[in-house]
Structure 1
Amino acid sequence: MNILKSFFCAGLMSSTMAATSMVSGSAIAAEVKLRLLETTDIHVHLADYDYYRDKQSDKVGLAKVSSLLKTARSEAKNSMLFDNGDLIQGNPLGDYIAKEKGLKDGEVHPVYKAMNMLNYDAANIGNHEFNYGLDFLKKSIKGANFPYVLSNVYVLDGDKDPSNDKPLYDPYIIINKDVIAEDGSKHMVKVGVIGFTPPQIMQWDKANLEGKLRVEDIIDSANKYVPQMKEKGADIIVAIPHSSVSTSERKGMEENASAYLSKVEGIDAILFGHGHLVFPSKKYEGFPGADVAKGTLNGVPATMPGFWGSHLGVIDLTLSGETGNWKVSDGTGSVRGIYKRDGRKTIPLVEADAAINEAIKHEHEETIAYMRKGVGKTTAPINSYFALVADDPSIQIVTNAQKWYVQKLVNGSEYDGLPVLSAGAPFKAGGRGGPDYFTVVPAGEIALKNVADLYIYPNTLRVVKMTGSEVREWLEMSAGQFNQIKPGMDGEQALINTDFPSYNFDVIDGVTYKIDVSKPARYSKKGEKVSDGHRIVDMMFDGKPVDPKQEFVIATNNYRASGGGNFPGLKGDNIIISAPDENRTILANYIFDQKTINPSADKNWSFAPLSGKAKVSFTSSPSAKDVATSMGFETMGMAENGFAKYRIDLSK
């Protein structure tokens, strides 16, 4: 009886203390588990649908992430959900709303019709949010029922005194989060949330932002605001940088600053993005300061959950203390995918949330109908399977259209008579997008969905004036796409530099040239000169060697002309024409004008033949085998992640 009485009294006392704690927000020390969930780089992939292939997809969609989210929330007593940015641009649905249908006052963007169902706590602004201009951004975000944070972007006051500039959005917020401790007691945690976007938006969207905004360095902004957040009572601070990571020494105004951010005192968790990669993952094994097993950067829990809804980021924090005095005692970062690969097969891991798809059904169906409209015909198939290793029809058709457009612009102008060149790059060339991420247009009817597949970005056309020597340097930067090859070396040599973005591999039509990959790259991917040699050889115009002083006008896009990609000679100061039309609208009009097109590549560039053995390998889609055979490439079987391996002989 005494034993039973003791247990009864102890239990009664414990229950009484817990009840008192739950009512009053106890000052008794407790332990709280708080789960932070992240989405990033959705790029309007709301439904599990590929608008370019015009069919359901198991590899994309916020509707898929929603199913992961439900499970992740059910496992935790306390959770919060955040979005990192790059929401309103990135696929045909986004373009249809921004460019074709528009948003009426009070109308909710389909992005927010979906996201408002998921109860986000806060969100950050990505660089692509600015692609359609500030007015469209502001009108879109009005539809969000959750707050936005952005600490490093300011609206110009107009008096040239930066201290009078106002933040475009709140630099940070502090959320009073009610939580349940492990012992069942109730508490409140003040969660500070701060956001960042790449400073490069002023280059990438110069036409939309110049004279309206200014941008500060990400780390400087963190150092300015994090102490303020602490002073205002934030128990923990969650950073949401739309910024990836870099191993380079910090110099300021970095695009990819999340690793540096992890060293800022006071930041307890980092939900990052922009890189379209997954952290933690094997890719980051050996990255300075990264613990892939625990999911931390320099000890700070961190996640980067892929892109297009491929993953959900999960950070689990353990908080110790009491209301008004919480500390993070432990934390881990992890990611959960919506699919996995088994060889060539894509295996879905979750079903799409039907409620999300239903919420956007109207705009989704309108987009599909719009994309199915025909514009012309092609006499041959168009694909980008080998756009990185040979002159390619998917680039050729774009450069042809741009040249057609610019030639009309310069006729009768002060630039009439100057040779017109045209630059294009492969946007869908496998890589991070996987073995299905290639443009494939069969011979016959071309629809708007095919045009959007050939040119996936909402860039506008720009024309720059450059000399022959400057054109060569442009191409030297592009040639960083390739690893240095050692002729005569036995064994396999990988041709493609996988760290070099395919969208920076510009082909310039109108001149002919060869690329000597036995030479080192002249520029790093940051545009820094790292070699005195030249990979671009035998550069000709009209059958003659290009005069270094000869002037050319070159059609390109606003991203490249304004400095995007860090190309030498392209900083925005040599733009002679800023066209009002998007590059892909020009492409659609060109096809419509021609009615029937022949997309065959003119083979204006090739690899310089090398002395000695020079068999090099690269990957592409397994579906490209027949095309490979027709081009004289050797098929070598399957590679990792569902890709197939191919080989070229570059020896003389």
Structure 2
Amino acid sequence: MVHSYLKKSAMLLSLAAAVMVAEEVRADQAADSQAVAGQEATSVTVAQESSASPEALLQVSETPVQEQSPEVTVLAEPVQEEAVKPPVEGQRVDMRILATTDLHTNLVNYDYYQDMQVETLGLAKTAVLMEEALAENSNVVIVDSGDTIQGTPLGTYKAVVDPVKEGEEHPMFAAFKELNYDGAALGNHEFNYGLDYLRRIVASSKVPLLNANVLDAQTKEHLFTPYVIVPKAFKDSEGQLVTVNVGLTGIVPPQIMNWDRAHLEGKVIALDAVQAVTELVPQMRKAGADVIVVMSHSGIGDDTYLVGEENIGYQLAGIPGVDAVATGHSHANFPSGTGNGFYAKIKGVDDVNGKINGIPVTMAGKYGDHLGIMDLKLHYTKGAWQVEESGTVLRKIDTKSTKADERILNLAKEVHEATIRYVRQEVGQTPTPIHSYFSLVQDDPSVQIVNQAQMWYAKQVLEGTPDGDLPLLSAAAPFKAGARNDPNAYTDMKAGPLAIKNVADLYVFDNTVALLKITGAQLKEWLEMSAGQFNQVDPTKTESQNIINTSFRTYNFDVIDGVTYELDITQPNKYSVGAELVNPTANRVRNLRYQGQEVADDQLFMVVTNNYRASGPFPGVKDAQENRLLNLQNRQALIDYIIAEKTIDARPNQNWTFADTINGLDLRFLTSLKGQEHLASNPAISFVGISEALEGFGEYRYHYSPVLQPEQPVQPGQPAQSEQPAQPEVTPLTPAKPAKVETVKGPQVLSYQSAQTFQKVASSQPQVKEQAAAGQLPKTGSEQSLWMSFGLVLLGLLPKALVKGKQEQE
């Protein structure tokens, strides 16, 4: 006890010293605002259900913050009484909340898919904005709204190749600690790697990771810490330090029970997020919270509320007692500051000042490209802090500058360089280019190769089982097709070597393989839903018509290989983007055939897809006779396929096309200007001009013509048709062999004995090891300095529907 007393005294004296020099150095201003939350020593806990006064609830505990039971609120060490006074009537404080969201392991400014430094993303870039905001006002609370540990090869590396061990801090949360974050919410992608991995991450994080609406299925208790109350030492309008107790909580969409069913079914319960927060707020106030901030991994949605819906940021901002909401999940920006943003038309939304229902709200984009700043003017009156005024701004990182936070670059150096070595491992060859510029208007190589790999894997899984004799199909969608109006969000690979970075670029999501048994009638409805990618066109119109429905997410545009079919887009969509039947008599899918014969309604098929589709609301899918989830990532199946085949011919087989009802029409679509480089090999496409609406995009025309037979596939071992810069030498890799499985009715999780193909770390190879010892990284297609090699991380490009009721990957 004496030791503990001395330890506390030393810390308190150190804090007092920091306060005394706060006026002289800006860095010390930051210390003033973060000193309370930054203490790592003794914690103070508050039992949620106690009816005692906040003062009576304070009790000393030696338990570290993240080892607390989920049913306790964790507070930081109180500051020295002489340094920080309790609030008095009339006192005023300007409080600032800094918010990030959907970082998706973009720790540094580096695109691992393109293997190059970029300046458009990364927490190390966002941290520069944080320092600037802190210099303007040191009274800050820093929060994040989730989707942090998945999304780039760095996330995959720390989850699959070199998994975070017990007691090891995940690099993303180590960065949060370095930047003095006060708390972070769990997003839906935090659950992608299973509960055991997530528990390990949460236990080692020195920043509270919070969730209020996920319960243990057996005990019905919160699975994670539902909220924390952080006493912040803020300066008032007169420069005096005063304590403001900031309550933080977080939520995740209950749809995680569908998206990660294989990991969560029978283990957890996901509550409606609005109801969970509504119930929690009075408890937080009773425990002493002066200001309550909700970190919402949920889109803003709209002013209509349905219990259990996905995007409810609007409703959270209307809960009594909530003072600010930091949203995420949709990868959108709020506020626009102009009044012309996506959400501006919704009643109660102030898109200029960043308020919803009078409460400050922000959504800070994705991958660290923006920082949300919410300013609250607090007035202590009638014994409580009240928010008198508030407003929100969104700041974008400087994409023209190479400036990044050195603390984050240094912290990320080891894992960043290991990730680069990982993604540069060669797995095979492609004799032809693979790109996705035209993937929304014709059969496409970036989708073809995924379907080929899934079919290859599923055949081995089903061999010898009762379902092994059924027709086997494969469903895949274009994941990188210009989502979020990003002209760089496309796959573009030259002919030549294929490395893991290329595979990650082809399959950006950490999905797992799923097998479905469906009928021919269900197959047709599945394709009718996918056909929602296209606008209805008028066959009598001579003017140009836009062919792409931009409200339909491209990752929902499934191309199903193994059958042939046509899409008649002069017909209306049968289903809405939310999978609701809107035109019962519509019939876009025509001439659906298997091996040249018309598909019968009662004909049975096995379809290999991913867990996201298998768990979702797609017509035809949701009524599958059998639904099996396999414990293998689709990306790993793709890697194993390329390794086994060595040379991959991904030229599309033209199994789908538009019906001849569009013959002669002037049909237009937008894609990246870089698509012009591939026009010679795509005769159905012509370039019209540069888009005036979207920077980096061009307008193209689609010309209908009867489907041409694809060229004969290039045989394995045939030399590539174009040159590719030399790649680092790597040890050849061996694909894993799938385990045989038995047919099982209903949703079933099946095991897969992985050979851990990529446990061969590149640093064990002589060339790489020698370069590492010299402080260098293996060279890739372009010259890069060592500084660039630990620049900033990249994306995961996960789209996110802004339309209500639509299932989301983000």
TM-score, with structure 2 as normaliser: 0.74
Q: What is the match of residue 191 of structure 1?
A: 246
Cα contact 1:527–1:568 (8 A) shared by 2: yes
Cα contact 1:338–1:350 (8 A) shared by 2: no
Which stretch shifts more, 104-113 or 542-551?
104-113
Residues 595 and 99 of structure 1: CA distance in aligned 2, closer, same or farther (over 3 Å)? same
| Residue 156, structure 1, aligned to residue 211, structure 2 | no
* Aligned-partner Cα distance in 2 for 1:21–1:581: 58
RMSD of aligned Cα (Å) = 2.0
Q: How many Å apart are 1:254 and its aligned residue?
A: 0.7
Q: How many Å apart are 1:301 and its aligned residue?
A: 0.9
Paired AA for residue 375 in structure 1:
V
Paired AA for residue 374 in structure 1:
E
Which stretch shifts more, 198-207 or 288-297?
288-297
Cα contact 1:25–1:323 (8 A) shared by 2: no
Q: How many Å apart are 1:31 and its aligned residue?
A: 2.2
Q: State the identity %.
A: 42
Q: 1:326 aligns with which of 385, 394, 397?
A: 385
Task: Spell out the pairing of 1:71-150 with structure 2 (5 A cutoff).
Answer: 71-150=132-211
| Residue 173, structure 1, aligned to residue 228, structure 2 | yes
Paired AA for residue 260 in structure 2:
D
Q: What is the match of residue 328 of structure 2?
A: 273
Which stretch shifts more, 66-75 or 617-626?
617-626
Q: What is the match of residue 232 of structure 1?
A: 287
Paired AA for residue 52 in structure 1:
Y
* Aligned-partner Cα distance in 2 for 1:545–1:249: 44
Structure with bigger strand share is: 1
For residues 242-279 of structure 1, the C-alpha deviation after alignment (integer angstroms, 9 at most, x for no partner) is: 00022373221111111122222221111000001111
Q: How many Å apart are 1:288 and its aligned residue?
A: 3.1
Q: How many Å apart are 1:22 and its aligned residue?
A: 7.5
| Residue 379, structure 1, aligned to residue 431, structure 2 | yes
Q: What is the match of residue 161 of structure 1?
A: none
Q: What is the match of residue 391 of structure 1?
A: 443
Q: What is the match of residue 160 of structure 1?
A: none
Paired AA for residue 210 in structure 2:
V
SS in 2 for 1:593: helix
Q: How many Å apart are 1:460 and its aligned residue?
A: 1.3
SS in 2 for 1:552: strand
Paired AA for residue 592 in structure 1:
I
Q: What is the match of residue 368 of structure 1?
A: 420
Residues 178 and 335 of structure 1: CA distance in aligned 2, closer, same or farther (over 3 Å)? same
Residues 308 and 553 of structure 1: CA distance in aligned 2, closer, same or farther (over 3 Å)? same
Q: What is the match of residue 16 of structure 1?
A: none
* Aligned-partner Cα distance in 2 for 1:46–1:153: 27
Structure 2 residue runs of 5 or longer lacking an equivalent are 1-80, 707-810
Residues 233 and 560 of structure 1: CA distance in aligned 2, closer, same or farther (over 3 Å)? same
For residues 100-126 of structure 1, the C-alpha deviation after alignment (integer angstroms, 9 at most, x for no partner) is: 111222222211222211000111000
SS in 1 for 2:678: helix
Cα contact 1:149–1:170 (8 A) shared by 2: yes
Q: What is the match of residue 627 of structure 1?
A: 678
Q: What is the match of residue 585 of structure 1?
A: 636
SS in 1 for 2:178: coil
Q: What is the match of residue 715 of structure 2?
A: none
SS in 2 for 1:416: helix
Q: How many Å apart are 1:610 and its aligned residue?
A: 2.7
Structure number with greater CO (CA < 8 Å, separation at least 6) is 2
Q: How many Å apart are 1:651 and its aligned residue?
A: 9.3
Task: Spell out the pairing of 1:245-260 with structure 2 (5 A cutoff).
Answer: 245-247=300-302, 249-260=304-315
Task: Spell out the pairing of 1:609-620 with structure 2 (5 A cutoff).
Answer: 609-610=660-661, 614-620=665-671
Q: What is the match of residue 244 of structure 1?
A: 299
* Aligned-partner Cα distance in 2 for 1:547–1:22: 79
For residues 187-215 of structure 1, the C-alpha deviation after alignment (integer angstroms, 9 at most, x for no partner) is: 22222212100101111111111111001
Q: What is the match of residue 287 of structure 1?
A: 346
Q: 2:593 aligns with which of 540, 553, 562?
A: 540
| Residue 68, structure 1, aligned to residue 129, structure 2 | yes
Residues 411 and 300 of structure 1: CA distance in aligned 2, closer, same or farther (over 3 Å)? same
Q: How many Å apart are 1:577 and its aligned residue?
A: 3.9
Paired AA for residue 506 in structure 2:
L
Residues 610 and 298 of structure 1: CA distance in aligned 2, closer, same or farther (over 3 Å)? farther
Residues 625 and 88 of structure 1: CA distance in aligned 2, closer, same or farther (over 3 Å)? same
Cα contact 2:258–2:615 (8 A) shared by 1: yes
Q: 2:277 aligns with which of 210, 215, 222?
A: 222
Cα contact 2:518–2:626 (8 A) shared by 1: no
Cα contact 2:522–2:621 (8 A) shared by 1: no
Q: How many Å apart are 1:312 and its aligned residue?
A: 0.7
Q: What is the match of residue 78 of structure 2?
A: none
Q: What is the match of residue 453 of structure 1?
A: 505
Q: What is the match of residue 727 of structure 2?
A: none
SS in 2 for 1:581: strand
Residues 190 and 510 of structure 1: CA distance in aligned 2, closer, same or farther (over 3 Å)? same
SS in 2 for 1:539: strand
SS in 2 for 1:65: helix
Paired AA for residue 335 in structure 1:
L
Paired AA for residue 634 in structure 2:
N
Q: What is the match of residue 15 of structure 1?
A: none
SS in 1 for 2:237: coil
For residues 315-363 of structure 1, the C-alpha deviation after alignment (integer angstroms, 9 at most, x for no partner) is: 1111122594111111111211114xxxxxxx42561112211111111
Q: 2:557 aligns with which of 472, 492, 505?
A: 505
Task: Spell out the pairing of 1:593-612 with structure 2 (5 A cutoff).
Answer: 593-610=644-661
Q: 1:316 aligns with which of 367, 375, 380?
A: 375
Q: What is the match of residue 700 of structure 2?
A: 646
| Residue 485, structure 1, aligned to residue 537, structure 2 | yes
For residues 216-240 of structure 1, the C-alpha deviation after alignment (integer angstroms, 9 at most, x for no partner) is: 0011112211122223332221111
Cα contact 1:371–1:449 (8 A) shared by 2: yes
SS in 2 for 1:166: coil
* Aligned-partner Cα distance in 2 for 1:415–1:21: 75
Q: How many Å apart are 1:524 and its aligned residue?
A: 1.3
Q: 1:47 aligns with which of 93, 105, 108?
A: 108
For residues 118-170 of structure 1, the C-alpha deviation after alignment (integer angstroms, 9 at most, x for no partner) is: 0001110000000001111121223322212211000122xxxxxx4110112
* Aligned-partner Cα distance in 1 for 2:680–2:698: 13
Paired residues, what number?
618
For residues 444-476 of structure 1, the C-alpha deviation after alignment (integer angstroms, 9 at most, x for no partner) is: 111111111111112111110000110111111
Q: What is the match of residue 52 of structure 2?
A: none
Paired AA for residue 575 in structure 2:
Y
Q: What is the match of residue 416 of structure 1?
A: 468
Structure 1 residue runs of 5 or longer lacking an equivalent are 1-19, 158-163, 340-346
SS in 2 for 1:328: strand
Cα contact 2:303–2:347 (8 A) shared by 1: no
Residues 314 and 529 of structure 1: CA distance in aligned 2, closer, same or farther (over 3 Å)? same
Q: What is the match of residue 551 of structure 1?
A: 604
SS in 1 for 2:342: helix
* Aligned-partner Cα distance in 2 for 1:82–1:212: 28
| Residue 56, structure 1, aligned to residue 114, structure 2 | no
Q: 1:306 aligns with which of 361, 365, 379?
A: 365
Q: How many Å apart are 1:404 and its aligned residue?
A: 1.1
For residues 265-297 of structure 1, the C-alpha deviation after alignment (integer angstroms, 9 at most, x for no partner) is: 221111000001111122333233221111111
* Aligned-partner Cα distance in 1 for 2:704–2:358: 46
* Aligned-partner Cα distance in 1 for 2:401–2:361: 23
TM-score, with structure 1 as normaliser: 0.91
